[in-house]
Structure 1
Amino acid sequence: MAASIGSHGVARYGGKDLPKPSAVVMAYTAHSDLSADEPPTFVAVGEEDVIAPPSAMERRIAALRQAGTEVEYRKYKELGHGFGPGTGTSAEEFGNVIARGGAGVVIASQSGHRLPPLSTEQNAALATTPTEDLLTLPMLQPDQVEDPLHAYQVSKRGNSLRVMAEAVRWGKRGARINTISPGIIITPLAKDELEGPRGPGYRRMIELSAAGRAGTPDEVGTVGALLMGPDGAFITGSDFLMDGGVTAAYWYSDLTPK
Structure 2
Amino acid sequence: MIGNVLVVVGVGGMGEAIARRLGSGRPVVLADHDEVRLQAVSSAMRRQGYDVREKSVDVSDRGSVRELAAFAAGLGPVTAVAHTAGLSPAQAPAERIAAVDLVGVAHSLDEFGEVIAPGGAGVYISSIAGHIFRDAVDAATAAIFANAPAEELADVGLLSMPDVPVDLARAMTYGYAKRANQIRVQAQAPRWGDRGARVNSISPGVVATPMGWDEFEAEFAHDAYKSMVADNAAGRFGTAEDVAAAADFLLDSTKSSFVSGVDLLVDGGTLAGISTGRVSMSPAENRT
The two structures share one fold, judged by TM-score above 0.5: yes
Equivalent of residue 107 in structure 1, options 125, 149, 160:
125
Give secondary structure in 1 for the equivalent of 2:192.
helix
Distance (whole Å) between structure 1 residues aligned to residue 273 and residue 124 of structure 2: 25
Unpaired runs of 5+ in structure 2? Answer: 17-22, 62-84, 87-99
SS state at 2:179 partner: helix
The question of 1:92 aligning with 2:110 is answered yes
**Identity level (%):** 33
1:134 matched to which residue of 2? Answer: 153
Aligned 1:191-202 pairs, distance under 5 A: 191=213, 194=216, 197=219, 200-202=223-225
Which residue of 2 is the match for residue 213 of structure 1?
Answer: 236
Equivalent of 1:177, from 189, 193, 199? 199
Aligned length: 227
Matched, 1:42 2:42: no
1:44–1:76 Cα contact (<8 Å) kept: no
Deviation at 1:180, TM superposition (A): 0.5
Q: Which residue of 2 aligns with 1:56?
A: 37
| Residues in 2 aligned to 1:244 and 1:68: alpha-carbon distance in whole angstroms | 33
For 1:67 and 1:158, how far apart are their aligned partners in 2? 37
Alignment of 1:225-244 (within 5 A): 225-229=248-252, 230-244=254-268
Are 1:209 and 1:245, in contact at CA under 8 Å, matched by a contact in 2? Answer: yes
CA drift of 1:134 comes to 1.6
Cα distance 1:74–1:224, how it changes in 2: closer, same or farther (>3 A)? Answer: same
1:158 counterpart (180, 193, 206): 180
The CA distance in 2 between the partners of 1:236 and 1:141, in whole Å, is: 32
| Cα 1:128/1:181, change in 2 over 3 Å | same
The answer to whether the 8 Å contact 1:76/1:91 transfers is no
Helix, strand or coil for the counterpart of 1:213?
coil
CA distance in 2, matches of 1:204, 1:89: 34
Instruction: Report the alpha carbon displacement of residue 120 of structure 1 after superposing the two structures with TM.
Output: 2.0
Aligned to 1:147: 169
Counterpart of 1:223 in structure 2 is 246
Q: Bigger CA drift: 200-209 or 226-235?
A: 200-209
1:27 lines up with 2:9 in the alignment: yes
CA gap 1:74/1:218 in 2 versus in 1, 3 angstroms: same
Asked if structure 1 preserves the Cα contact closer than 8 Å seen for 2:130 and 2:179, the reply is yes
Deviation larger for 203-212 or 171-180: 203-212
Q: Which amino acid aligns with 2:206?
A: I
Paired with 2:157 and 2:122, the residues of 1 have a C-alpha distance of 31
- In structure 2, distance between residues paired with 1:189 and 1:226: 24
Deviation at 1:30, TM superposition (A): 6.3
- Check conservation: 2:161, 2:169, Cα contact below 8 A: no
Which structure's residues are more often helix, by fraction? 2
- Cα RMSD (Å) of the superposition? 3.6
Offset at residue 79 of structure 1 (A)? 3.0
Residue from 188, 200, 204 that aligns with 2:227: 204
Asked if 1:120 is matched to 2:139, the reply is yes
Over residues 129-172 of structure 1, what are the superposed CA-to-partner deviations in whole Å (9 max), with x where a residue is unaligned?
11221233233332697622111100101111111112121010
- Contact 1:28–1:43 (CA under 8 A) maintained in structure 2: no
Q: Is the 8 A contact 1:183 1:243 kept in 2?
A: yes
Residues 234, 77 of structure 1: alpha-carbon distance in 2 compared, 3 angstrom cutoff: same
Pair 77,156 (structure 1): closer, same or farther in 2 beyond 3 Å = closer
Q: Distance in 2 between matches of 1:88 and 1:202?
A: 28
Quick check: 2:11–2:31 contact (8 Å CA) kept in 1? Answer: no
Q: Does residue 1:72 correspond to 2:90, yes or no? A: no
CA distance, structure 2, for counterparts of residue 196 and residue 137 of structure 1: 27
